[in-house]
Amino acid sequence: MKKSEPMSESYYYILLCLAKGANHGYGIMQMTEKLSGGDVIIGSGTMYGATSNMMKKGWIREIMSEGSGLERRRQYQLTESGREALRAEIQRLRRMLENAEGV
Amino acid sequence: MSKQYKRSFRFYSAWNYEREIEDLNRASEQGWQLVHGGCFHNRFVKNPGIRYRYQLDFGKIEDMGRYIETFREQGWEYMNSTFNGWHYLRKLYDPALPEEAYEIFTDRESLHEMNSRWARIALGIGIALALFAVFYAIRFFSRPNLPYGIQLLMFLMESVILLRGSFLMRNPDASRNRRGDSTIVALLLAVIVLGSAASITLSDLRPHFWTEQKAAAIDEPIRDRRWGTFKVKYPDCYYLDLKLEGPSPVTFEVIREDGESVYRASGEHFEEKRIRLVLPRGEYCFSLTCDDAYHVAAELD
């Protein structure tokens, strides 16, 4: 497997927020803020760019939520390769952390 | 009744877009709300009862529906896009919200991506214009004349502006958003438009002449037979490619309206290219003198 590049914080948190199920942009934004204790904020421009790029990479896909009319919303769902990318990134971060502890 | 609408014709160079955002925010604070953002002018409506914060984005949007929805989710209203790919966004101002709530690019990578989108296009066009400049430089140095000179200068200026812009856009730490920079760029753009128009007009005014005259035999000698009248409307350098042939010497002259000979060549086998003539305003014609068969080919540009 080719060595993956480090992910940007926004990519990482978006994937993390989708790990347990599909969510819409606003939900991802709120969940990220909560998870990071307010440290990481994903603005709309960053969100649109990151989701566009990750859809191109095939890490996430767009789905329409259940319901009718205004309840129907655009949501993002993690794909298998997205899950793999997230797993690889977590492994990379864990290794780096372990390395730091070993010094 | 006080004015309800206004237009602002301020020009902002792309790498100074943060300055435009600041100005829009300030205008909103003073009661002027942007209704339409344009490349060269902005339209405002008076409404002191409301306050917005603005943001600009650049690039081709592949899925406008998703784009608008992604922004709306966080309170942003997509306003409009300019023909050259800038998007205007606004959000109602709420003093309770922290400053970060009015950012649309919240990490270095995405901001860099947006800046790079513009920088990449500017770099491409800048390089293309630099190639044009090289092409005109070659033309100019082989045949210096006014329209080529102006054109060369314009292409040089355009490519320098864009290459510098591309560099500034890609390097947020570089001295961009400098006061006066946009004004200078706007002035230079005006100069470029005028210069290009002048160069096209001057090119059209330049006489271009090609002629070939020949006779296998003549009954009697020709003395100063005139043909090929042309008008020089502004003084400039012209170039003459000339070929003379005959069993006896053929004389060719370029004569001004007052009868003065500006150039004269003679010979049985004469050929020369790029004979440089500096011609003041006026009317000119060619003249031919020969005793026998002749062949003259002349091109003036």
Complex prediction ipTM: 0.91
Q: Residue A61 falls within a domain, yes or no?
A: yes
From residue B36, give the alpha-carbon distance in Å to each of B65, B86, B91, B191, B194: 20, 12, 14, 27, 28
Which pair of tokens denotes residue B287? 């003249």
User: In terms of CATH architecture, what is B209-300?
Assistant: Sandwich (2.60)
Ranges assigned E (strand) in chain B: 5-8, 32-36, 42-46, 52-58, 76-81, 86-92, 209-215, 222-232, 236-256, 261-279, 282-290, 294-300
Q: pLDDT tens-digit profile of A7-22?
A: 999 999 999 999 999 9
Q: pLDDT category, A3, cuts 50, 70, 90?
A: low
Query: What's the pTM?
Result: 0.85
The per-residue pLDDT for B178 is 72
Structural domains counted in chain A? 1
Q: Is A56 a member of any domain?
A: yes
- Report if residue A79 sits inside a domain: yes
Measured CB to CB, residues of chain B less than 8 Å from chain A are 55, 57, 62-63, 66-67, 69-71, 73-74, 76, 89, 100, 103-110, 113-114
Please indicate, yes or no, if residue A3 is contained in any of the structural domains. Answer: no
What is the structure's pLDDT at A1? 46
**Model confidence at A81: pLDDT above 80:** yes
* Regions of chain B short of the pLDDT cut 50: none
Question: Is residue A70 very low, low, confident or very high in pLDDT (cuts 50, 70, 90)?
Answer: low
pLDDT-derived band of residue A77, with 50, 70 and 90 as boundaries?
very high
Average pLDDT over residues A57-70: 85
A53 lies in which domain range?
Answer: 9-102
CA torsion, points B146, B149, B155, B160, in degrees to nearest 10?
-130
Closest Cα in chain B, distance from residue A94 (Å):
22
Residue A51 has which token pair? 């989701």
Residue A24, pLDDT score: 93
Q: Is residue A2 part of a domain?
A: no
**A9 touches B: beta carbon within 8 Å:** yes
Q: Which residues from A are below 8 Å from B70, CB to CB?
A: 25, 44, 47-48, 51
> Is it the case that residue A5 has pLDDT exceeding 80?
no
